[in-house]
Amino acid sequence: MNTFTEENYLKTIYHCSLNAGSASTNQIAAATNTRAASVTDMLKKLADKKLINYTKYQGVTLTEEGEKIALGIIRKHRLWEYFLVEKLDFKWDEVHEVAEELEHISSTELIDRLDKFMEYPKYDPHGDPIPDREGQFKRQELKPVSAMLINQTGVVAGVGDHTPAFLQYLEKATLTLGTKLTVTEVVDYDHSVVLEIGNKKINISREVAKNLLVAL
Amino acid sequence: MNTFTEENYLKTIYHCSLNAGSASTNQIAAATNTRAASVTDMLKKLADKKLINYTKYQGVTLTEEGEKIALGIIRKHRLWEYFLVEKLDFKWDEVHEVAEELEHISSTELIDRLDKFMEYPKYDPHGDPIPDREGQFKRQELKPVSAMLINQTGVVAGVGDHTPAFLQYLEKATLTLGTKLTVTEVVDYDHSVVLEIGNKKINISREVAKNLLVAL
DNA sequence: CACTATTTTTAGATAAGTCTAAATTTATTA
DNA sequence: TAATAAATTTAGACTTATCTAAAAATAGTG
User: Is B89's CB within 8 Å of A113's CB?
Assistant: yes
Structure confidence by residue, pLDDT tens digits, B48-64? 999 999 999 999 999 99
For residue range B24-35, list pLDDT tens digits in order: 999 999 999 999
Q: What is the pLDDT of residues B132-180, one digit of tens each?
A: 999 999 888 899 999 999 999 999 999 999 999 999 999 999 999 999 9
* Mean pLDDT (whole number) for B187-198: 95
pLDDT for residue B98 = 97
Mutating which of A110, A112, A116 best tests the B interface, going by the most B Cβ atoms within 10 A? A110
Q: Are A92 and A85 in contact (CB under 8 A)?
A: yes
Q: In angstroms, what separates the C-alpha of B45 from chain A's closest C-alpha?
A: 24
Q: How far apart are CA B47 and CA B76, in angstroms?
A: 24
B67-84: average pLDDT: 98
Report chain A residues whose CB lies below 8 A from the CB of B110: 84, 88, 98
- The CA–C1' separation of B93 and D6, in angstroms, is 36
Contact call for residues B11 and B131 (beta carbons, < 8 A): no
Task: Return the amino acid letter for B149.
Answer: L
What is the pLDDT at residue A131? 98
Collapsing DSSP to helix, strand or coil, B141 comes out as coil
- Using DSSP, state whether A204 is helix, strand or coil: strand
Question: Is the pTM above the cut of 0.95?
Answer: no
Calpha distance A193→A148 (Å, rounded):
10
Instruction: Give residue-wise pLDDT tens across range B85-127.
Output: 999 999 999 999 999 999 999 999 999 999 999 999 999 999 9
Helix, strand or coil, per DSSP, at residue A60:
strand
- In chain A, residues with a C-beta closer than 8 Å to the C-beta of B98 are 105, 107, 109-110
CA distance B113 to chain A (A): 6
Nucleotides of C under 7 A from a protein CB: 7-12, 16-22, 25-26
First to last CA, chain B: 41
The answer to whether B25 touches B40, Cβ cutoff 8 Å, is yes
User: Strand C neighbours with CB under 7 A?
Assistant: A 24-27, 36-37, 39-41, 43-44, 54, 56-59; B 3-6, 32-35, 37-38, 41-42, 45, 56-57
pLDDT value for B139? 86
Q: What length does chain A have?
A: 216
Coil, strand or helix at B215: strand
Chain B residues with beta carbon closer than 8 angstroms to that of A94: 109
Task: Pick out chain A residues at pLDDT < 70.
Answer: none
Is the pLDDT at B213 greater than 90? The verdict is: yes
How far is the C-alpha of A151 from the C-alpha of B85, rounded, in Å? 53
Closest residue by Cα to the C1' atom of nucleotide C21?
B37
Q: Which DSSP state fits A136?
A: -
In which band, very low, low, confident or very high, does the pLDDT at B19 lie, cut at 50, 70 and 90? confident
- CA dist A193 → A118, A148, A177 (Å): 37, 10, 18
Type and span of the H or E element at A131: none
Please name the residues between 115 and 144 in chain B that touch chain A, using a CB distance below 8 Å.
117
Q: How far is CA B208 from CA A107, B191, B194, in A?
A: 30, 11, 11
Residue B1 has pLDDT above 80, yes or no: no
Pick out the nucleotide with least CA–C1' distance to B34. Answer: C18
